[in-house]
Amino acid sequence: MVEARRIHIQSVRLEGMSPAERVVALAEIRRAVAAAVTAAPTASSAALGKSITEALQPLAKGGGK
């Protein structure tokens, strides 16, 4: 049985981006979060939060795909 998880991201700033760039950025965020959750499906909430934060760091620094 697969446990459902709800993820709440407090804030995302997409300032200075065109609407198309925002769509791409949000897709990259979704992929990063999904990868972090998939990689650690049984992790505690704190560990999962850390994993998601680490997955989003490259995007925050402009290193998205």
Q: CA 45, 48, 49, 53: dihedral to nearest 10 degrees?
A: 180
**How many Cβ atoms are within 10 Å of 31's Cβ, its own excluded?**
14
What pLDDT, in 10s, does the model give residues 6-25? Answer: 666 777 778 888 999 889 98
CB 58 within 8 A of CB 52: no
Structure tokens that stand for 7 in this block:
């993820």
Q: What is the pLDDT of residue 20?
A: 92
What pLDDT, in 10s, does the model give residues 43-56? Answer: 677 777 788 888 88
Q: In a 3-state reduction of DSSP, which class is residue 64?
A: coil
pTM exceeds 0.85 = no
